[in-house]
Chains A and B, each alone.
Chain A
Amino acid sequence: MSTRPSRSNGRLILATLLGVVVACASPSRPRVEAAATSLQGARAEGVDVRAPIAYREAEQTLERANTALDRGDDAEARHLAELTEERVLVARSVAEEKQLRVESEALVDRATDQALASRAEAAVAAERRAESERSRADALLSGLQSLQAREEPRGLVLTLGDLLFDVDGATLAPGAAPHLERLAQFLRENPDRSVLIEGHTDDTGTPGHDADLSERRAEAVRDRLESLGVERSRMRVVARVASGPYASSATAAGRQEARSVEVVIRPAP
């Protein structure tokens, strides 16, 4: 026998090769194709972006399957197709977990934003309320300034001097009207305020006459305020004799002052 392969030897080799190739190829081709489809589907859903490492492993396994297929190794191709499918599942799951974590972070961010926003909103609203409260108080005070209101611990005190009444009478002079209208407006806008109307009298003359006069003047103020829309129940009338800074009736001016009516607007409860 020759050591050089004869022509018949060559044919035999070809036949063997062909036999092996035929035996190896390719009942598993549809499985490899199915695995490729699975991988494509995962890619279409962005799994390759969210789970790049796991996706790459599945892709490499599919490459091995195709190589096995080309080589005609049917059993290995079938195995690798199955392995590819398994790794596509892994990649999908990893991608899904990533997605859930992204959603979770977004949820936390949104909740934080909302909490901050509502806190900021509350702060702005509170500031706006305080501002409007301040400007309202300013407006009221400036409105009452023409009445020469003073702030005292017992409340805002307005003095309606002797000149706002008829001489020795309890009738309000025409000049009193604008003052009392402003006061009535203030009281209408501040329904929680109650009012103490104090008629003052001096210690001269017949006490009966002056005390009576001051009380009647205080009542006149109350009646006027009532006619301007202030509830009677919010107003209380008292007469005071020679009290407070008006005790000085030694002079005519002092006496005139002493015969005034004071309106005390009590602080809101």
Chain B
Amino acid sequence: MQRLRWCLAVCAAFAAACASGPSPRDQIAAAESAMREAERADAQTYATAEWNNARETLADAKHAAEHDREVQARRLAELAEARAQLASARSREAQARRSLENQQESVDRLEAVPAPVTPPPAPLP
């Protein structure tokens, strides 16, 4: 009996040490906040794949939380947060690239225009 108790105590200590990190609820809230940020960055439009990936991961995290799989829920929520951040970053990157291309286009167009013709000099008296 004593041995069993010792064994359980040791195992519990290890389990506690292994299961580090924030609570699943906090982590899901953080992921949701990152999703809202991605939405503001128009990730649905400019980083559709990353956006969908983040959304699905968040749904998995919530599902795990509902079924009391705490550790799995926390890990999935962490992943969902990172994926939502990736969606934001990729969306901003895509928009910056598009803007640079537009600028390059305008500069090219301007450079293609010939220099303005200067008016002829005034006639001599």
Contacts and interface: CB of A to CB of B under 8 A. Distances in A.
Nearest to B47: A93
A129 B100 contact: no
Contacts of B97: 100
B6 A267 contact: no
A266 to B, nearest CB: 10
A268 B123 contact: yes
A140 B86 contact: no
A79 B75 contact: yes
Contacts of A108: 103
B107 A16 contact: no
A104 interface: yes
A20 to B, nearest CB: 5
A257 interface: no
B6 A24 contact: no
B86 A89 contact: yes
B107 A107 contact: yes
B124 A267 contact: yes
Interface string A196-226: 0000000000000000000000000000000
B78 A79 contact: yes
Contact of B10 (A13, A104, A126): A13
B83 interface: yes
B110 A87 contact: no
B18 A76 contact: yes
Nearest to A193: B124
B17 A71 contact: yes
Given A71-B17, A86-B82, A104-B99, A156 B125 contact: yes
A82 B103 CA distance: 37
B93 interface: yes
Contact of B83 (A72, A86, A130, A137): A86
Nearest to B95: A97
Nearest to B83: A86
Interface bin, chain A = 35 or more
Given A79-B75, A126-B118, A140 B124 contact: yes
A129 B103 CA distance: 35
A73 B118 CA distance: 78
Contacts of B85: 54, 87, 90
A94 B89 contact: yes
B55 interface: no
Contacts of B115: 118, 122
B100 A107 contact: yes
Interface of B: 1-3, 6-7, 10-11, 14, 17-21, 71, 75, 78-79, 82-83, 85-86, 89-90, 92-93, 96-97, 99-100, 103-104, 107, 110-111, 115-116, 118, 121-125
23 contacts: A9-B3, A9-B6, A13-B10, A16-B7, A24-B14, A73-B20, A76-B19, A76-B20, A83-B78, A83-B79, A86-B79, A90-B86, A90-B89, A93-B90, A94-B92, A97-B92, A100-B99, A104-B96, A114-B111, A125-B118, A133-B122, A190-B124, A268-B124
